[in-house]
Structure 1
Amino acid sequence: IPTVVDRFNDTLPTNYPMTDAALYYGWYEYGVNGPFLNPSFRFRPGAVAMHLHSFSAEQIRDPNKNWSAALLSRGAACTIGNVYEPYLGVTHYFDILHKRLLAGSTFAEAAWAAMPAVSWQGVVFGDPLYRPYLHLDADGENRPEDNDYRALRLAAMEWGSKPDEMQRQLEKATERTGSGIMAEAIALRFREANSTSEAVMWFRKAKNLYVSDSDKFRQDFSVIGVDRAEGRSGFDGLKLLRV
């Protein structure tokens, strides 16, 4: 699953160009912020999204306050929250929940397994029988808008234990299809492996392949992130994101 990790701020910046988001784990801010303040933002259908905060589900009527209501109103299919201070040790463990979902558990099963203690503070919203990764093997309904992500998943299944071969195959597929999504996925893989020069090269390739301005700017932001991690200073992309 191509994943963006922000290691520089508590939350993603306002108007961060988040597109095709199917999964979101965040912390630690009282009220909804970041890309979710953009009126055009919507999760992909079936998205799993949650934000760890002591009062994330303090109320569920106002979509512009706290987190649970905000994430659901922006298209998330399920979320987890807290109606009152549970203290950190009693909050749901997102890592356990994620592993259970990937293993094929229902949302209710995963949420129960991730809850270290039964309390009235922790609440769960969504279809309890929902299995978001039921088709993680890339079967299921074929939709054109999912083709690139399906190809990435198939590549991981076929060559996951052979990273060099997987890299070659992804690069060939990107050159053949001209897919910005695949180019960005390659860049993210290089960034995770700390191959920064290759990551920057592929982020720039992805920018050239993408059509929408938001997708293009996300590549700029990713390059800025690489520079910051390497201790290089440059222009302040955060200011641009707030425009």
Structure 2
Amino acid sequence: MRIALHAVGDAAQRAGRILLAESDLVALGLYGHGGSHVADRRTIAIRELTGFDILVTDDVDAASAFAGIALDDGLDCVVSAAAVDADLDQRYAAAARTLLVDSGSVSSIAACLASHEVARTDGVAAVTMAWTVPGKPLHRGQAIAFPDPVGGRWGRRVGRSPERIEVPVEGEWAGASVTVLGRVAGESTRRVVGVADHRGHLEGIALAAGALAILAGGFGSGLHRPGDAPEAYLAAALRVGLGVAAITR
């Protein structure tokens, strides 16, 4: 596989290092950059996308522009931005190409974990998905448990069905946590799954996983989010180092 990478922040730089660990990676093209700080013969500076399979970028401000460039050159595209120009969905679908948005966020990991757990639970009674965001910690709200080193935190509700909780944290750590109440094998269960790691590393995994999931055929044509194919996305994320903790009661 040949992946083009346009990096403006830590997430895409980390995604590039993660992708270089893939044995079937033929080339990692650094699009719009003059060189690489990574010593790897597969890393090359490029100014054109011809010959590459997919473009990955964490440029939120210019996400629509890069998605358009990728489409014009016949590539799939992965962006960390949560939204792009509305017409790109139809344009990608018409070209039988895939555009994956919001693929560099901890919230996308939470959404995919929630979908995975719901699928394995009978008679789901309640689902809560939570993720950290940079900000001043709260001193009241909804209690959320993350794996260490994030630990227990207070969060604020930002949506329902399923219940969605944002948890402000300071510092370099980030996490996602999902709680599902239901029945498994006829018994009532409360299952909590979560991840916690350096924020940049989690975002890098999230971005790299999107590219690998698309290249593995996990998403159809048009515009998608990671939660549209949670199993394919999680499989890719786990393969590149996402560690998940789980407790069942």
What TM-score does the superposition give when structure 2 sets the normalisation length?
0.24
What TM-score does the superposition give when structure 1 sets the normalisation length?
0.24
The structure where strand makes up a greater share of residues is: 2
The structure where helix makes up a greater share of residues is: 1
